[in-house]
Structure 1
Amino acid sequence: MSSTVPGHLTSTALSFSWPDGTEVFHDFRFAFGQGRTGLVGVNGSGKSTLLKLMAGQLTPTSGKVTATGGIGHLPQNVVLDTSLRVDQALGIATRRAALHAIEAGDASEENFTAIGDDWDVEERARATLAQLGLDGIGLDRTIGEVSGGESVLLRLAALLLARPDVLLLDEPTNNLDLYARTRLYAAVAAWPGTLVVVSHDRELLDLMDRTADLHDGELHWYGGNFTAYEEALAVEQEAAERMVRAAEADVHRQKRELAEARLKIAQRKRQGQKVQDSGSLPKILVGARKRSAQVSAGKLRTLHEDRLAEAKERLNEAADAVRDDAEVRIELPHTRVHPGREVLRLTDLELLHGARVDGTFEVRGPERIALVGRNGAGKSTLLRTLAGEIEPAAGEAGAQVPLRFLPQRLDLLDETLSVVDNVARFAPGATNNHIRARLARFLFRGARADQLVGTLSGGERLRAALAALMLAQPAPQLLLLDEPTNNLDIASVRKLTAALEAYEGALVVVSHDLPFLESIGITRWVLLDGELRDTSADEVRAGLPAR
């Protein structure tokens, strides 16, 4: 239950390393207070790790996190026991059972103790579910009967019912349809306590009061939402780039002055040698002049070398302030599909969970299809059926070209193998050098290609999975992607977009991320809502109606 004291989270001298010795934080400090904070940063910067440290799910190597009030944490990947009832997942099963027992005439002290003062527990639970758009989910249903998106909302509902002082949300809009996202935005906007949100969802981040940017092991604070943060960061980066240009010019100037100084020293040395060879001065005087010239030359050379070293140091410092925004740049000519060629055909298809395709549904040429629909409509089931992972209940689904499927959990990769070894599994005929050259275009250069997949961040893991699929033999001419932007920061979404720009085959993408879908040039919008039908971008933008 919430306390009367506003929730705060602070740390001093916090350090954390993984068991293999990889350091994430060193002498790290933070202070999160009341209000809504968006925690942003590139994949691998430690955002999820920081939330787990704040939630007490990880133990610092040294230092500590101090919290006032209760803490609720919604992790990135919500895993609920499918055999649980909804009331158990909400944490109210014991109180609810006691309430029903009292209503049935069992006035034992045990039941009154279980309820405490929470006599309206069922009403509050149903109101919270309704707030999140889960009106139709009964408290006696099992988790196995709800979709992945609904299980995320159920976990959030449990946190809202517990009323913690501090709420930590890690990518909460993953797997949520547009309707559910709208409900979550409203819950976030109404949250009265301390809220820290990690997300790549711009609309959610624009609800924040402030933005904390986790970069190079430090938090940089910005007043305002994500849009204000981007504007402030752009101004900072422009200034940093000017500093780099000025520092580069200074380095060139110092190099030129050092070269000129060395030339002067050489000229003086030749002149001194001529005087010495002519014998016009006494040897003792020549020796004194020579020693004086050497000292003077040494001081001059040292002065200019020091100035050059200082200029290079200033250049390095200026360059460190400019963020690396390397982009994926690849060419995939073997993925090309000619316009008009039949790529995929569905005939009287019925999925295991009841959605169906009446008649024939075709995909032709290099179409880019966005497959949209409410949570639980069967979109992931349809992709898995197309990929041949599960059999349809009836009808047929057949691809006429090589296809590859990228599932939500990216479990096509072997976490115990390196990136390069994973790609080699999909392209057994390619040489190691060829694979490494292609991986460099996916930003896995040198030692990065030898990293174990199990140590990669979400964005790196997605790039590795894309590399494995796109460099596979034979080259895929139909690519099925299931929520590819889940767990990605905004910079990684740009990298994904760049990779897909190089892909010349047909594409079927399940996503609730409209800005991403619009950025990859969707040519056809398809709605799965009991049956499969074509729709429009305008209808999707307007939001799918509630059932």
Structure 2
Amino acid sequence: MHTSLTCSSLSFSWADGTPVLDGLDISFGPGRTGLVGVNGAGKSTLLKLIAGELTPTEGTVRVAGEVGYLPQNVTLDTASKVDEALGIAARRAALHAIEAGDVAAEHFETIGDDWDVEERALALLGELGLGHIGLDRTTGELSGGESVLLRLAALLLRRPDVLLLDEPTNNLDLYARRRLYEAVRSWPGVMVVVSHDRDLLELVDQIADLRGGEVTWYGGNYSAYEAALATEQEAAERMVRVAEADLKRQKRELVEAHTKLARRTRYANKMYENKREPRAVMKLRKRSAQVSAGKHRIMHEEKLTAARERLDEAVEAVRDDDEIRVDLPYTAVPPGRTVLTLQDLELAHGARVRGGLELRGPERVALIGRNGAGKTTLLRTIAGELAPVSGLVAAHVPHRFLPQRLDVLDDGLTVAENVARFAPGATDNRVRARLARFLFRGARADQRAGTLSGGERFRAALAALMLAEPAPQLLMLDEPTNNLDLASVRQLTTALESYEGALLVAGHDLPFLESVGITRWLVVEEGELKEITPEDVRYSA
């Protein structure tokens, strides 16, 4: 029997009553499925429901086989060893005991038929670019990207029938991403992947578009999906134009019909007043004219109502993904003004800045490099969260730092309350007016931060920092496209187009970095911060 995964009448709401899914029906069969949709559509929630990490409010999840789940935010016990994280510690210990001459029956029971478990684990680690870490190191020594790959290795060793991946390339450098792509290509079972990584979505067999609580299926990879969607949208926009023209025609015909009927009524009244025909005939003509007028009026009004409904349906079929629009005049930095100075800097984890480095004016600087190279450490040091071992760090303008964890938000507060913390002098009306430009309108501004999706949480954190007082003239972002769908990445790009200050962005998403107009590229490599040319970027990211 083929492995399958079916969700029937699936509903879920957060504890405060905020609905996420309502009566969703969806099935996944063999092959790789890319699950896409705007942030807040319920993609991550759906994966958690399938994985059993959340309990549905209503409905059922049926899976034929074992489920493996890689969440957005991977956390490992930092004191555990690699073999424990892989789930093979007991079998490995039993194997070593037997090799040392201990032939107790429990060792053979523990191993079962898995005599090559250690070789398979080491081979898999090598395939994922983790061959250097071995099985005896503690996971606390690993970088964020290595932790993600280690969790993936544990899943691949288990060989589950269904594999769920939620933003698996978050925190991965380009080298690690290529390793993950190979694992995805060779996956033989059911796979459902949520990602904003365009290259990863090019590897799927089909796209499931979750929108408005319903799923639309598209065959092929993300490029095929985009092409099909573009064709659909062109047709939908044509239907809107046709429906608008039809509505105008129906309105015109209704006016013309009223005019004709008014003329007939005036004529019938005039004939009645002049008594040119027998009284009974005139009464019959008048009554007939009234009945006819009523029928015509009802007919044209029904046509007008039907035309309005067709227009509403046509408009609903056209996607209207809002864009963040902000006006931030106080973030402007004059050209040539020194924004940041680094001098003979040594960071807490060993990276160095030899000599001096300055950021001037509204420069847009990308900070790239392998996982664990020290990019986040450098940003946290500039932000004042970490003290340098030696050297000088001086930010000469108001600055803000948005970390990967998005922990600038208080989960117990609403979006509006969180923003108000950063701008205590702003009125509630001003906060809400500004939040509306970040797409938090009306009741959305009163949603608690703890219930937001990854993309919504990022948008709320970005709003809090960009609307802060004083306005930041240096904005530092650490892996900002993590947890964002492709529509939200476009929204972020639009928001940053409005930002007039200096920008320092650490990341591996080269298409995004190129889209925000990076003017300067820095790489942390072999423990040093260096400036490189745009041509060298893809070899260093």
TM-score when scaled to structure 2? 0.96
Residue 476 of structure 1 is aligned with which of 457, 472, 475?
Answer: 472
The 5 A counterparts of 1:418-429 are 418-429=414-425
1:203 equivalent to 2:223? Answer no
1:534 equivalent to 2:531? Answer yes
SS of residue matched to 2:339: strand
Residue 454 of structure 1 is aligned with which of 434, 450, 453?
Answer: 450
What is the CA distance between 1:188 and its match in structure 2? 0.8
Residue 327 of structure 2 is aligned with which of 312, 320, 331?
Answer: 331
Amino acid at match of 1:379: K
What does residue 350 of structure 1 align with?
346
Amino acid at match of 1:159: L
The 5 A counterparts of 1:68-467 are 68-467=64-463
In structure 1, C-alpha distance between the alignment counterparts of 2:98 and 2:435, rounded to whole Å: 65
In structure 1, C-alpha distance between the alignment counterparts of 2:540 and 2:327, rounded to whole Å: 35
Cα displacement string for residues 288-314 of structure 1 (whole angstroms, at most 9, x for unaligned residues): 332222211111111011001111111
What is the CA distance between 1:431 and its match in structure 2? 2.3
Cα displacement string for residues 216-242 of structure 1 (whole angstroms, at most 9, x for unaligned residues): 222211111101110011001100110
SS of residue matched to 2:286: helix
Amino acid at match of 1:315: L
Amino acid at match of 2:198: R
Q: Which moved more, 1:443-452 or 1:221-230?
A: 443-452
Q: Could you list the runs of 5+ residues in structure 1 that have no partner in the other structure?
A: none
Does structure 2 conserve the Cα–Cα contact (< 8 Å) formed by 1:6 and 1:193? no
Q: Which moved more, 1:60-69 or 1:10-19?
A: 10-19
Count how many residue pairs are aligned between Structure 1 and Structure 2. 540
In structure 2, C-alpha distance between the alignment counterparts of 1:343 and 1:188, rounded to whole Å: 43
Does structure 2 conserve the Cα–Cα contact (< 8 Å) formed by 1:419 and 1:451? yes
Q: Which moved more, 1:453-462 or 1:389-398?
A: 453-462
Q: Identity of counterpart residues, as a percentage? A: 69
Does structure 2 conserve the Cα–Cα contact (< 8 Å) formed by 1:6 and 1:69? no
What is the CA distance between 1:6 and its match in structure 2? 4.3
Amino acid at match of 1:498: T
In structure 2, C-alpha distance between the alignment counterparts of 1:257 and 1:42, rounded to whole Å: 41
Cα displacement string for residues 443-501 of structure 1 (whole angstroms, at most 9, x for unaligned residues): 22333323322232222222222221111111110000011111111000000000000
Does structure 1 conserve the Cα–Cα contact (< 8 Å) formed by 2:171 and 2:479? yes
1:60 equivalent to 2:60? Answer no
In structure 2, C-alpha distance between the alignment counterparts of 1:328 and 1:12, rounded to whole Å: 35
In structure 2, C-alpha distance between the alignment counterparts of 1:415 and 1:276, rounded to whole Å: 78
In structure 2, C-alpha distance between the alignment counterparts of 1:242 and 1:364, rounded to whole Å: 49
What is the CA distance between 1:201 and its match in structure 2? 0.3
In structure 2, C-alpha distance between the alignment counterparts of 1:462 and 1:26, rounded to whole Å: 24
Cα displacement string for residues 48-80 of structure 1 (whole angstroms, at most 9, x for unaligned residues): 122122222233333322222221110111111
In structure 1, C-alpha distance between the alignment counterparts of 2:180 and 2:124, rounded to whole Å: 11
Amino acid at match of 1:302: I
SS of residue matched to 1:500: helix
What is the CA distance between 1:277 and its match in structure 2? 3.1
Amino acid at match of 2:537: V
What does residue 515 of structure 2 align with?
519
Amino acid at match of 1:533: K
Does structure 1 conserve the Cα–Cα contact (< 8 Å) formed by 2:523 and 2:540? no
Q: Which moved more, 1:129-138 or 1:99-108?
A: 99-108
In structure 1, C-alpha distance between the alignment counterparts of 2:260 and 2:446, rounded to whole Å: 50
In structure 1, C-alpha distance between the alignment counterparts of 2:273 and 2:312, rounded to whole Å: 47
In structure 2, C-alpha distance between the alignment counterparts of 1:198 and 1:94, rounded to whole Å: 33
What is the CA distance between 1:436 and its match in structure 2? 2.4
What is the CA distance between 1:543 and its match in structure 2? 4.8
In structure 2, C-alpha distance between the alignment counterparts of 1:64 and 1:413, rounded to whole Å: 33
Q: Which moved more, 1:175-184 or 1:349-358?
A: 349-358
SS of residue matched to 2:323: coil
Amino acid at match of 1:228: A
SS of residue matched to 2:514: helix
SS of residue matched to 1:59: coil
What is the CA RMSD across the aligned residues, in angstroms?
1.6
Residue 23 of structure 1 is aligned with which of 16, 19, 32?
Answer: 19
Residue 39 of structure 1 is aligned with which of 28, 31, 35?
Answer: 35
Q: Could you list the runs of 5+ residues in structure 2 that have no partner in the other structure?
A: none
Does structure 2 conserve the Cα–Cα contact (< 8 Å) formed by 1:10 and 1:32? yes
In structure 1, C-alpha distance between the alignment counterparts of 2:2 and 2:184, rounded to whole Å: 17
SS of residue matched to 1:542: helix
SS of residue matched to 2:23: strand
